[in-house]
Amino acid sequence: MGLVVFNRCTMSGFSSNVLSCLERERLEEELFEARTRGRNLSRLRQLTYRERVALDEREQTAQTRLRDHETEHGCQR
């Protein structure tokens, strides 16, 4: 393992996966918010077909973005 300087500090064992995990965390949060929004709205009232489809598409898009990021950067938990 080489030494890398990050924010003027020397770090050993530092890899690009650490940085890409920040993006992974953001994408996980996006997916969590999409799921939570759908759950909360469906608890409040009966959703219309269009609302349900829109919420499902939003969740699927978030899942796809997260999966693509994992594939591209290899930063899985």
Domain span at 66: 20-73
Give domain status of residue 4, yes or no: no
Give domain status of residue 50, yes or no: yes
Give domain status of residue 24, yes or no: yes
pLDDT reading at 10 higher than 70:
no
Over residues 49-65, mean pLDDT:
96
The dihedral through the CA atoms of 65, 61, 28, 76 has a sign that is negative
Residue 31, Cβ density class (10 Å: 0-12 exposed, 13-18 middle, ≥19 buried) = buried
pLDDT tens per residue, range 17-50: 454 478 888 999 999 999 999 999 999 999 999 9
Q: What pLDDT is recorded for position 3? A: 52
pTM equals 0.68
Residue 13, phi-psi category: left (phi > 0), alpha (psi -120 to 50), beta (remainder): left
Give domain status of residue 38, yes or no: yes
Q: Number of structural domains, the chain? A: 1
